[in-house]
Structure formats: C-alpha cells, structure tokens
Amino acid sequence: MIYNFTVNDFEGPLDLLLHLIRSSKMDIYDINIESITKQYLDFINNSKEMNMDIAADYLVMAAELIHLKSRTLLHKDDEEESDEYELNSAEDLRDRLLEYQQMKEVTSTFKELEDRRSDFYTKLPSDLSDFREEGASVNPGDVSVDDLVNALKLFLEREKLNKPLNTKITKKELSVGDRTVQIRNILKTKKKCEFTSLFEQVTKPYVVVTFLSVLNMSKNNEINITQDKNFGDIYLEMK
C-alpha cells in the first residue's frame, strides 16, 4: 500500500487504525488482525516525520497490535489476559475503535455547532442613561400601541379586573368624542398626566372608550406620549 499521508494527518493511533480499516474496506466488526497490523507497522516504518513525542503513542499501539496478532496466530485466545496489554482480543480492539469512532462523531457535531454559533454575535444590554441629556424624555414615536396595551393590561391586573367587569347599564353612554373632550380638559389643567390615571372608573365601557380616545388623540397628533424607560410609566401631554 502506498501512503500519501503523514502522522500529522491523524489525531492519534486509533484515528490511523480507523483510516486503514476504511481504506481496506474492512468490517470493523470483523477485523483481520494480521492484515491491519501489517498495514499499521508499514505506515510507522515509512513515516519519516515522526519525532519521539509524537511517536510514543503510535509505538505503544504497535506493540499492542503485535501482541494481539501473536495471540491470534498462536490460537491462545483461551489463555488468561495479560495485564501488561490493553488489547487481548479482537473484541477489545473493536470496542476501542467503536468508542473512539463515537466520540469522534460527537466531537464533529459539536465542532459544527460551534462553527454555526460563530456566525452569530450577541451583546449584553447597555446602560445608555449616561448618553441621555438631563430632563430629556423618550421620543414619542418610541411609545407604540403595544406599549399602551401592555400598560393597560398591567393596570387592569393590579385592579383585579381580569375577571368579567361590571357592565351596569347607565342612562347615558359615554362616547369617544365626549371622553376626548374630557381628556383634553384634564391635560390643559395638569399639563401632563400618567396614562393609567385616566381610568378613574373600572367599568368595561369606560375603559374601552378612554383607551380609544387616547389612540384617537395620538393619531390626530394632539398629544405627546412619553416613557422615561422601558416598562416605565407612560405619560401624556398636549402638544
């Protein structure tokens, strides 16, 4: 067999053995000990780049294979196993190779996952408060409808209104137009008010009409909606 590879191409003697077995199209469950030992020793003898540090593990495996080959040829499988050697049967070699092959596949999977992960970059949240001018508020455009919905939801939860609300019928229902006028008057008086403070009553019609009024005023660009920090209180003021 002509070898076009070097020791540096392998991760160790087991890696080399697996390569030789595959190259010979040998079944790992039916290893020809004599053949694989000869191929292994030929490779070691033909390898010119092996230094003593690298050669040590390969030479130990060579001794193991020679010992295993001698047992096979002399039909001494029934003798007591020698504590001096780790490989005393073809089954020992097979188990070592299967274990190594499994670990190599797992390592390959982890390496693939590592390569995929290297395509993503993450960054911990930064505190940007030092870059904000004193007294400055969040851009009104940063407060979305979702922010208002979440604020209202939290308010209702605090008020224990997640249960069916009181739907008592009154003689005069409040319209969005009427409630908008009321909110305008509140903002003209207070200049600025907290969003949930507008829900003085906790009936479903009142909550719905008030919320729609705020959305309508925001849509018509009548009010500024600000929030000092994420998940903080939301404030309304007239423009």
What is the domain count for the chain? 2
What are the tens digits of pLDDT across the range 64-99? 888 888 887 776 545 555 567 778 888 888 998 999
Residues 105, 167, single domain; the answer is no
What are the tens digits of pLDDT across the range 31-69? 888 899 999 888 888 776 666 666 777 888 888 888 888
Residues 113, 141, single domain; the answer is no
Residue 124 lies in a domain: no
Q: Quick one: tokens of 102?
A: 């499994």
Cα separation, 17 vs 21, in Å, equals: 6
How far are the Cα atoms of 59, 67, 108 from residue 103, in angstroms, in the given order? 22, 26, 9
In the prediction, which pLDDT does 182 show? 93
All residues at 6 or more sequence positions from 125 whose CB lies less than 8 Å from its CB, including other chains: none
Q: Quick one: tokens of 74?
A: 């002399």
Residues 105, 148, single domain; the answer is no
Q: Name the domain boundary from 56, 89, 117.
A: 117
Mean of pLDDT values over 118-141: 55
Nearest CA-CA partner of 34 in 68, 62, 2: 68
For residue 222, what is the domain's CATH number?
1.10.10.580
Residues 82, 154, single domain; the answer is no
What are the tens digits of pLDDT across the range 167-208? 454 445 788 899 999 999 999 988 889 998 998 887 888 888
- Which residue range(s) make up the domain with 52? 7-117
How far are the Cα atoms of 106, 134, 139, 163, 228 from residue 129, in angstroms, in the given order? 45, 9, 14, 39, 10
In the prediction, which pLDDT does 171 show? 47
Residue 127 lies in a domain: no
Residue identified by tokens 């290893």 is: 31
